[in-house]
Structure 1
Amino acid sequence: MGSAIGEILPLALGVAISPIPIIAAILMLLSPKAIGTSVGFLVGWVLGIVVAVVVFTLLSSLIPASDPDAAKPVAGVIKIVLGLALLFLALRQWRGRPAAGAPAALPKWMSAIDSMTAVRGLLLGFVLSAVNPKNLLMGVAAGVAIGASGLDTGGVIVVTVVFVVIAASSVAVPVVAYLVAGARLQTPLERLRGWLEHNNATVMSILLLVIGVVVIGKGLASF
């Protein structure tokens, strides 16, 4: 189980550190319907992570079982392909980063956050975690790692829970903190939002580069 957790940790951190969902959660916390939309977004975010990792864990578990010490070429090829896809996204993020002093380009849907309902927040959270290409690739890689680990059902559940908790933490922490501290967090949240908006592309490109290299390395080790 320890090796499986070691494999999914960088992937879970990759999902957690994604700036766009954090910015969305902060904007919701600063909106007129802060509690309803942010809680809905958190529920959708967690649900999307769970669906992505569980679906691909089940699919990867269909790969024929082999000796734990034997090579796993199918899982290795899948990991290498996923790692290359992450490197491609890292390059796109780096090339799309704003020039020095220029405002960062953010998704147009963020301007509609003030009028969002809890249901729309939930749907947005689900889409960003389960459908967004960057997070989906990391969910797929985690599912492949868990499904090919050879763990029993209990072990798979534990590793999956670890992945979900870490991956969801970056959205869960500000939402839960706001529920506890309320308006006292407004100024720190504004500062964090500004920093993330300006450094979104740089953070994601470096993050995807590191995780892509790690996933490719794990894939090569499967041969």
Structure 2
Amino acid sequence: MLIVLADLLTIAVAVAISPLAIVAVILMATAGKGRSNGTAFVLGCYVFMIVFVGVLVLIGRAAGAEEGHSIPRLLVDGIEIVLGLVLLAMAVMQWRKRGSTHTPAWMERLDSLSLWQAFLVGVLLAGPLSPKDLPLLIAAGGRISQSALPVEQIVAVILIFALIGIIAIAIPWIVSVVAPGRAEATLSRPREWLVANHAVIVTVLFVILGFKLIGSGIADLAG
């Protein structure tokens, strides 16, 4: 199990470094309903990662992806290479946006969200509306489905992977819970920096992870 987790660590950390999601939870943490909405948002991200990766693992295991040199296993490796190429293409697109410091309009309405709306935003930003995270979660699901671990260890791997994936967004939420009076002063500068450097951060991640996925897929196919 530790070997699988080590293999997934880079992907999990890259999922955690999601500037827009971090900015969103910072905005919630500094709003009037920061504790409750921030909690719902973080839970939404965590639940989506677990369910999405879990479904992919179920599909992969049902197809026999854990069997060496099987067609499903080779297909997973091929998908991993394609995802790596997609990330490299997206790195070029993000680099072209590097000069933009515009905050998305939907972020201005975060302080008016209900509890369930905050949960839904967390679900959406954890994958469906995240061009960075969705390919990474697909790659993680493929990797886990290829492992020959027993069911209980696979469940543990998915839970730990998702936990690592929400670490960065959990930090401002923790600040809002532990020291709500200081949340604005503590989190305002990180928020401004993330908005200003979002495109560059994501570009670097896309390049590193694109080559990682391509390399891992080719290595598995060659082995």
TM-score over 0.5 for the pair: yes
Give 5+ residue unaligned stretches, structure 2.
none
Give the aligned partner of residue 213 of structure 1.
Answer: 211
Q: Does 1:79 align with 2:76?
A: no
Task: Give the drift of 1:72.
Answer: 4.3
Letter in 2 for 1:81: V
Q: Deviations over 1:123-152 (max 9, x none)?
A: 100001131232111111000000011211
Contact 2:34 2:176 in 1 (8 A): no
Task: Give the drift of 1:63.
Answer: 3.4
SS of the equivalent of 2:63 reads coil
Q: Deviations over 1:1-41 (max 9, x none)?
A: 23311221111111100100000000111112212221111
Task: Give the drift of 1:108.
Answer: 1.5
Give the aligned partner of residue 37 of structure 2.
Answer: 37
Give 5+ residue unaligned stretches, structure 1.
none
Q: Does 1:142 align with 2:140?
A: yes
- What's the TM-score, normalizing by structure 2? 0.91
Give the aligned partner of residue 60 of structure 1.
Answer: 60
Q: Which moved more, 1:88-97 or 1:14-23?
A: 88-97
Distance in 2 (CA, whole Å) between partners of 1:187 and 1:11 is 31
Distance in 2 (CA, whole Å) between partners of 1:35 and 1:209 is 35
Distance in 1 (CA, whole Å) between partners of 2:182 and 2:32 is 15
Q: How many residues align?
A: 219
Distance in 2 (CA, whole Å) between partners of 1:73 and 1:42 is 34
Contact 2:30 2:176 in 1 (8 A): no
1:1-223 alignment to 2 at 5 Å?
1-64=1-64, 65-67=66-68, 72-98=73-99, 104-132=101-129, 133-223=131-221
SS of the equivalent of 2:144 reads helix
SS of the equivalent of 1:62 reads helix
Distance in 2 (CA, whole Å) between partners of 1:140 and 1:72 is 14
SS of the equivalent of 1:147 reads helix
Q: Percent identity?
A: 33
SS of the equivalent of 2:101 reads coil
Distance in 1 (CA, whole Å) between partners of 2:89 and 2:203 is 10
- What's the TM-score, normalizing by structure 1? 0.91
Distance in 2 (CA, whole Å) between partners of 1:187 and 1:74 is 49
- Aligned-residue Cα RMSD (Å) equals 2.0
Task: Give the drift of 1:106.
Answer: 2.6
Task: Give the drift of 1:114.
Answer: 2.0
Letter in 2 for 1:36: S
Distance in 1 (CA, whole Å) between partners of 2:68 and 2:12 is 27
Distance in 1 (CA, whole Å) between partners of 2:3 and 2:86 is 23
Letter in 2 for 1:193: R
Distance in 2 (CA, whole Å) between partners of 1:190 and 1:78 is 40
